Amino acid sequence: QVQLQESGPGLVKPSETLSLTCTVSGGSISIFYWSWIRQPPGKGPEWIGYIYDSGTTNYNPSLKSRVTISVDTSKNQFSLKLTSVTAADTAVYYCARDRELTYWGQGTLVTVSS
């Protein structure tokens, strides 16, 4: 059974870098599309980007200048880095598998505040 689990700081200061990791169990990370999605409180989801084939990425154009998604196949993990955060980046961040987002992590709330 495929399981995903997000981890990382729940509080990030403005202008700093948000860093999250998604650990995948129950399957290899070397295939499939691996995505990050976020959802601000009370709003709908927003797709951030994906990585596949252990290195090919695709990012939301509105976030592209600040986002990096990478994969560590030795740990079966993939990661999200979002630089220069502001309060507008406060959201629940989810990792998921496939372009159609078949499997999701439970999500982790990241608050941007000083």
Partner 1 sequence: EIVLTQSPGTLSLSPGERATLSCRASQSIAGSNLAWYQQKPGQAPRLLIYAASIRATAIDIPDRFSGSGSGTDFTLTISRLEPEDFAVYYCQQYGSSPLYTFGQGTKVEIK
**The residue to which tokens 């951030």 are assigned:** 48
d(CA 99, CA 92): 19
In this structure, the number of other CB atoms found within 10 A of the CB of residue 103 comes to 16
Of 16 and 68, CB closest to partner 1: 68
Tell me if 94 contacts partner 1 by CB under 8 A. Answer: yes
Residues 34-63 that bind partner 1 (CB under 8 A): 44-47, 58-61
Identify the sign of the CA torsion 66, 69, 75, 77.
positive
State the nearest-atom distance from the C-beta of 50 to partner 1, in Å.
Answer: 8
105 in contact with partner 1 (CB under 8 A) = yes
User: Which stretches of the chain bind partner 1, using CB under 8 A?
Assistant: 44-47, 58-61, 94, 96, 99-107
